[in-house]
Structures are given as structure tokens and as C-alpha cells.
A and B are shown apart, each in its own frame.
Chain A
Amino acid sequence: MNSKQKEILMRKRYSAEKRFKFFGIFSISLAILFLCILLFNIFTSGLSAFFKTKLILKINFDEKKLGINMNTPDEAIKASNFNEILQDALLNLDLLAPDLKKIELIDIVSIDATYELKRFYLQNKDQLNKIVEISLTLSDDLDQLYKGNFPRDIPEDRRRFSDFQLKVFDEQNSQNKIITEFNFSFFKNADSREPELAGIGASLIGSLLTILVCLILSFPIGFLAAIYLEEFAPKNKITEIIEINVNNLAAVPSIVFGLLGLGVFLNYFYLPRSTPLVGGLVLALMTLPRIIIPCRAALKAVSPSIREGALALGASKVQAVMHNVVPLALPGTLSGTIIGLSQALGETAPLILIGMVAFINVVPTYPIDPSAVLPVQVYLWSESAERGFVEKTSATIIILIFFLVLMNSSAIYLRNKFEKKWS
């Protein structure tokens, strides 16, 4: 082989390396591009959901119309009807409105507006018989118009709101009576069929409760199983079969666990349907193999010299494992667990069968209250016909991504912080 041949060979090797590098960079940038498109898409359509549009309305808390007085107890106020004063105020927006258009005036605000008035009055009882300016939630159609998600320059019969409503809305807007404020109710409210009222409060709590149940069950069981399998179990046919099964279970489609949950927890144990308790149980079953596998890997990664050193100094096997090996493997097991749980957080399929894909209007407080979870909320809203749910869907995805990023980065943080380097 002369020097020329060598040079050609060399060049070939270099160009092969360059090609490999190029393909690597290309595929990574492609992945980043798609991720960026996805995030851009979600953020542009979702950010507006964090704000809501309100109308400032002059309300006359007339005691005759409300049928209450200064001494009325709270219970009676809650039972009284605030609709009349609300309708009066809305009809005042256009006194010349013909009878047929009056219903359109009343439809300008959300159906929750009368309850907003009630809540306001319960906190400000001194306002009786006074005229007060209160901001009330607009109906979702006008809210979407104001946010620019619904076009206004199209024929009336293709719009969700009438010319008359548009005229009244523009008048109020020119008088600065239309305001935008941060949508706290999005984080506080439960699901609703009125897009302007719908919130993720219930599903957020539902997700937390579900993950909590899942964590309490799957971490100790998975962790102990991993320690036993890795450190104590004899290496024979039975443990081999168990190992194969654990690996298999990790690859089973998640809906199968939902079927199992339906059959065992609901139909046999009669646990309550649609609850975080059952959801957590099902997700724990799903997460178990996904915790056992990284836990075993973390234990395996601990250098044998640690174990042998402890045993040589007279420690028993349990002492060697619990005092020496487990503390060193802990960062790896923690990050494995967190990643397993973040997978469980994003699951919908197994929850369909145990009744968590449902409209639930009440924020849960215990794991046995009916509840939805965040990914289910995304699924349900993306199915809804109303325009207002489009931004809500994206906003929920933003929150879900936020939690996933939080969990995954805490996994990385924990691993880096507690990991001991060996030299």
C-alpha cells in the first residue's frame, strides 16, 4: 500500500465521518423543527385562553326586585333570583331595542353572570339599593370575536352572533366598557359546557390525586421488587421468567391495564367509578414495570466493590444492600420513578374504561370523588364543537407540558445532585 492509496483511504474515512455527523445533525434539527412547530402552534392558539373578556355593566341592586333587605340571611340571598336586575341592566344598553332583539341583548353575557352578581353581592352587602359598575363575563362567542379568533366581516348568517349584538358590542367597546383580565377562573373552575366558564381546576386536582395514589403504590412495590430481584433472588428459571414478564409488561398497550382495572377494581372490588383512586391503581399497575426496570439498572450500576467491601467488613447481605448499595442507587431509581410517573400523567387510554373520560363539573377533594385528569380534559375539549374550546385545549396542553417538563427536569436535577462519581 503506497502513500497515495493510504491518502485515499484516509479521505474516505474522513468523508464517512462527515456524512455520519451530517445525518446526525440533520435528524436532530428535523426533530427540533417539528418540536418548534408543535410548540409554536400550541402557544399561539393557547395563550389567549389565559385571558378573558368582560363587560362592565351598571347594576342596580334594587331591594324590591331582589326581594331581599339588609337583614336577609345568606341562605335566602343564595336562593333569591338576580336575573331580573341583570336583565334590566342589559336591556338598558339599548333602550330602543325591539322586543325580538331583547333576547339577543340578554345573550351578550355568559349564563354565569347572574351567579357572578350573587357572589359579588354576598361580599358587598352594603351595595343594596345602589348602582354599581361590575365586570361580567362575556358570552364565549363575543369573547372569541374580541380575541380575534372569530371573523367579523362575514355575512350575518355565517356568524355565531347577530349584527345587532355586534353593534351593541362595538358601542360598549368604544366606551371602554369591554376589558380583558387574567383568567383566574381557568385554573379554579371545573369543566363546563360554556367555554368561557370552563377551567382545568378539577382535572388539575384530579391529576395530582391520581398521580399521588399511583406514586404511593408503585414506588415502594416497584423499588422493593427491584431490590429483591437484583440483589437477593437466586438466578434460576423462575426469576428468569419473572424478568421476561416484567419486560413484557412494560410494553403492553396501556388500554389493556384499563380493561384489567374495569374487570378487577370496578366489577370485583366495587371501587367507585370515575375516581382518582381507581385511576391511580390502574396507572400504578402500568407504571410498576416501568419503575422496576430503571431501578434494577440503577442497582446494577453500583460497583460490585462496594457490595464486596461491605460484606468483607462483616456486614450482612441486607446491611450491605440497604446501607451501601441502595443509597448509591437512589438517584437513578428516583429519576426512573419520576419518568415513569410523568408517563402516567399523560395517559388517557386506560382511563376511558374506568369512567374517567367524563364530564365532571365539581372540583374533587378526596381520591374517591369523581374526577377527570388533564389529558382527558384535552381529549374532551378537542372533541367539542364550540370555537371557545380550541384555545382552551391548547392552554391545557401548555399546562400539561409545563408539568411534564417540571417532572423530567427534577428527575435530571435529582440524579445530578446526588450522583456520586467513581474514579
Chain B
Amino acid sequence: MRKIIPIIFTLIGLSVIAVTIAQARDQLKVTGSSTVYPYSTVVAERFGKEGNFKTPVVESIGSGGGFKAFCAGVGVDHPDFTGASRPIKKEEIELCQKNGVTEIIELPIGNDGLAFALSVEGKDVNFTKEQLQRAMAKEVLWGGKITTNPYTKWSDIDKSLPDVKIEVLVAPPTSGTRDAWDAIVMEGGCNKDFIALKGNKKKACTEYREDGAVIEAGENDTLIVQKITSSPNTFGYFGYSYLIANKDKIKAAQIEGIAPTVEGIQSYTYPVSRPLFLYAKKAHANVIPGFNEFLAEFTSKNAIGTTGYLFKVGLVPNSRETEEKARDIVANLTIMQN
């Protein structure tokens, strides 16, 4: 027993040291969306490899969670950057301001498209948003009345669609990917009369059917890729980077006649596209070492440009003007206007 007491004291001592060390920080901290994570990590790694600064720590906790951590305050205990697969919301800006994070820098870093994909062995298909909504919703308008979804095959919805059972793998409700899909496809493709009958509540459009045709597959997109590879008539949706990393096994269906390609996503002619952002705290500029340099690396031609290294891992670049604008913002550390 006598041996244990000094150990406990050493540990208490260690924690005291830890607290003192935490006061100064020489390592950048990035948090936020799991969609932006693959890109921020690549930048972080290259940034660290150059040898002037430590490799930043990049967490993957989702866009919403990222803003919560980002807006919690200014100082070394709070992250410097957060990635997001959607623009910051008004409530989040208010939260930031309440906690003293008044100057936020917003950087457009690129775009992502959600691919509605199937195994390469399946047939090429073209869907409209409405057809997708009808196939996946819990309730649809049928003969002027609201009924539980009656469709079992794609061809029941439209003769031009394949004569196979409807089976779609979806992300869980906590995922930002699902939020984007719901906003664009489920709400966008929803029948107007249906919304009216539901008392103008768009929420009803985003309820997925529960009879086994729509399967919740968990947060892991790699798993969805594996599952649709093994059964050729099953569809699933996920970010563009998963499509290009697995293009030997899967291919994307067209939506409204457009395939998810770099051009289609960049110009937003492909309907299910979304912008990606990096948010930075101006209060940390020139305080945390490497802050300005990291932003410069992230927005460099070498990174987010049309042939940059982020393009190779699946980031769909912005137009040249937006790219230039991002560099301007970094050069002047321009804060966003609300």
C-alpha cells in the first residue's frame, strides 16, 4: 500500500503540469464536419511535412458539433478552425457572438455532390427528384389521397425505370449527408398537393418509409459502398469522394439527366450539390503560431486549385473567381458580414 500513495501524488503532479502546459499552444486545432475532414487532414499533413509548424490536430465531429465547439469561446482551449458542409446558421453566429467570437472568417473551399450510386453491374438509370422522393417517402399522394407508400418496384413509379425492387441504403438522421439529401431531394422533389394536404408541413416529405425498402445503414459510408457492391439492385447515397475512390465497383445514377461529375457539381447543374466551408477565428490570427500560414496553404492553388492535391482526393473545386476570392479573404483576413 505504501507504494501506491506516491504514485497517486505523481499523477496529481502530472495533472498540474498538464494544466500549465495547456496555457500555451503551438499546435493548430481543426474540428467540424466529417465531409470536410478528409480534405482538412490532407492539408494538415502537408502543412506539417513542410517542417515549419506542428501538424494540426483535426477532429471529425460533424458540422453542428463543430460550430458548437468553435463558438464556445476565444483562447487556446478552443479550436481555431471548423469545417462545415453547409453555411453557418444564424443561431450559431449568435452563439459565437455571445461567447466573444465576434470576428469569423468564412472561406469557401469547394463543393461536394451526393452520388446516388449502384454497383457497376446494375443498369444505368436516370431519376428525377420526384421519382426518388416517391420511392423513399413513408407516405405519398396516390389518386388524390395520402396513402402509405404503395410502390414496391421502381417500375411502379415510372415505366422508364428498371423493373427491380426498391432498395435504398440511407445515412442515419445524425448525418449531415442525410440533411443535405433530405433538403434537396426529399423536400425538393415533394409533391405540392401532398404538402398542402399535410398542412404545409414539409417535414412529412422527409419521413422515410419503414417497410424495408429504405434501410438505415449507419454512419459509415464505406460500409454502404460495400453493401451496394454486393447486391446490384441496391442504391445508396454518399459524398462524391467515395464515388471516385471506388469507381471500379460502383457508378452513379443520373439525377434530372445529369451525372455527378466535377463540372456538374461545380456549376450546380447536378441537383444534389452542396458547398463546403472552412471557418476561422480572426482573434487567433497572429496568436497561435501557423494560423495564417495554414489558411494560406489551404487556399493555395496547390491545394484547392483545379489540379490541386485536394482535387485528387475528391474535392470538387470552386470556380476560379471564388477560388481567388478565398485567397483574398486569407490575405486580408476579411471577416464575414452577417
Contact = CB atoms under 8 A, between A and B. Distances in A.
A387 B57 contact: no
A357 B59 contact: yes
Contacts of A217: 11
B164 interface: no
Nearest to B4: A220
Interface in B1-25: 1, 4, 7-8, 11, 14-15, 17-19, 21-22
Contacts of A269: 15, 19
B118 to A, nearest CB: 14
Contacts of B221: 383, 385
A237 interface: no
Which of A192, A213, A271, A385 has the largest count of B CB atoms less than 10 A from its CB? A385
Contacts of B11: 213, 216-217
Interface in B208-239: 219-223, 239
A87 interface: no
Interface in B42-93: 42, 44-46, 48-49, 51, 54-55, 57-61, 77
A271 B222 contact: no
Contacts of B27: 370
A119 interface: no
A368 B17 contact: yes
Nearest to B245: A385
A277 B58 contact: no
A334 to B, nearest CB: 15
B19 A270 contact: yes
Contacts of A194: 45
Contact of B38 (A157, A159, A384): A384
Interface residues on B, range: 35 or more
B204 interface: no
A358 B19 contact: no
A216 B15 contact: no
Contact of B222 (A266, A361, A370, A383): A383
Contacts of A382: 220, 222-223
B30 to A, nearest CB: 8
B314 interface: yes
B109 to A, nearest CB: 16
A274 B54 contact: no
B232 to A, nearest CB: 16
B19 to A, nearest CB: 6
B248 A271 contact: no
A375 B248 CA distance: 29
B241 A385 contact: yes
A359 B41 contact: yes
A224 B36 CA distance: 47
A296 interface: no
A386 B245 CA distance: 6
A270 B57 contact: no
29 contacts: A111-B46, A111-B49, A157-B247, A158-B247, A158-B248, A160-B248, A193-B41, A193-B42, A220-B4, A220-B7, A269-B15, A270-B19, A271-B22, A275-B18, A277-B15, A322-B1, A358-B60, A359-B41, A359-B57, A359-B60, A361-B44, A362-B48, A382-B222, A383-B222, A385-B242, A385-B246, A386-B313, A387-B245, A387-B246
Interface of B: 1, 4, 7-8, 11, 14-15, 17-19, 21-22, 27, 29, 34, 37-38, 40-42, 44-46, 48-49, 51, 54-55, 57-61, 77, 120, 219-223, 239, 241-242, 244-248, 251, 313-314
Interface of A: 78, 111, 115, 150-151, 154, 157-160, 192-194, 213, 216-217, 220, 266, 269-275, 277, 322, 352, 355, 357-362, 367-368, 370, 380, 382-387, 390
Pairs A-B, 6 closest by C-beta atoms: A361-B55, A385-B245, A359-B58, A358-B59, A359-B41, A272-B22
